[in-house]
Amino acid sequence: MTGHRGLFVTIDGPGGAGKSTITRHLHHHLTNQGRTVHTTTEPSHDQLGEIARHGTDTYSGHALACLVAADRYHHLTTEIRPRLAAGRIVLCDRYVASSYVLQRMDGVPVDFIEALNAAADIPDLAVILTADPEVTARRIHERGAHSRFEAGITTSRTEAELYADTTHRLTRHGYPILTIDTTKSATEQVIRMIAKRIAQLTAGPPGESHTT
């Protein structure tokens, strides 16, 4: 690594789209290329994140949205920014896009969500995975639901609609979004697409772009 800032890459998408699998395989792919990679997730594994992650049956609506946002800002301060300053590529499984979707599914107005996340760092690359709701619902059924937000075909369809809307909203806010449909794409193909974009972002002259 050089002394230049690293690259912040986020991976979002509806339940069953393959976020965790893609993040894990991308980490190995980039590491095998000789890059220094730090992988993390939101909610984080710090105290606030654990409350948000395991408290979705206790907390909801505005309270849960605030918990998730508080964890995000702490996560940025204590984990993400220091790794970026050290020149690492940081991969984050879920970020702001997930809040725009899940909190709206929980009845929180989008204006409130935008205000809560207005000071969150904009990633260098925001990957949003998409997939046919019938496919994601089947995948969730096969692996088991992770929370009350994964409740069958109805929630899968709602997530798909809200992610499409969120993509447009975040693009207007300056998020550099890469959308990939995982309905029929093999994991290796998705990894190559993301890695190619990362290579483009890290290829510029030192001091003018992110370098690894």
Give 127-167 pLDDT, tens digit per residue: 999 999 888 888 877 776 666 566 668 888 999 999 999 99
CA-to-CA distance for 140 and 131, rounded, in angstroms?
Answer: 12
**Average pLDDT for 123-128:** 98
Residue 146's pLDDT is 67
Residue type (1 letter), 168: H
Residue 67 lies in a domain: yes
Residue 207's pLDDT is 40
Residue 209 lies in a domain: no
User: Is the per-residue pLDDT at 98 higher than 80?
Assistant: yes
Express as a percent the part of the chain with pLDDT over 70: 90
User: Is the per-residue pLDDT at 7 higher than 50?
Assistant: yes
CA-to-CA distance for 176 and 114, rounded, in angstroms?
Answer: 17
Give 10-21 pLDDT, tens digit per residue: 999 998 888 999
Residue from 14, 31, 35 nearest 181 by CA: 14
SS3 of residue 102 by DSSP = helix
Residue-number span of the structural domain to which 21 is assigned:
7-201
The domain that holds 78 is classified in CATH as: 3.40.50.300
**Average pLDDT for 49-62:** 93
Residue 211 lies in a domain: no
Q: With contact defined as beta carbons under 8 Å apart, do 17 and 97 qualify?
A: no
Number of domains, the chain? 1
Q: With contact defined as beta carbons under 8 Å apart, do 46 and 52 qualify?
A: no
pTM of the model: 0.90
Residue 35 lies in a domain: yes
SS3 of residue 89 by DSSP = strand
The DSSP output letter for 1 is -
Q: Could you give phi then psi for residue 92, rounded to 5 degrees?
A: -120, 115
Q: With contact defined as beta carbons under 8 Å apart, do 105 and 155 qualify?
A: yes
Which of the four pLDDT bands, split at 50, 70 and 90, describes residue 210?
Answer: very low
Residue 204's pLDDT is 59
Which of the four pLDDT bands, split at 50, 70 and 90, describes residue 119?
Answer: very high
Residue 206's pLDDT is 41
Residue 144 lies in a domain: yes
Residue 2 lies in a domain: no
**Average pLDDT for 88-115:** 97
**Average pLDDT for 192-212:** 72
Residue position matching structure tokens 């109805």? 154
DSSP string, 5-33: --EEEEEE--TTS-HHHHHHHHHHHHHHT
Residue 53 lies in a domain: yes
Residue 43 lies in a domain: yes
As a whole number, the mean pLDDT across the chain is: 90
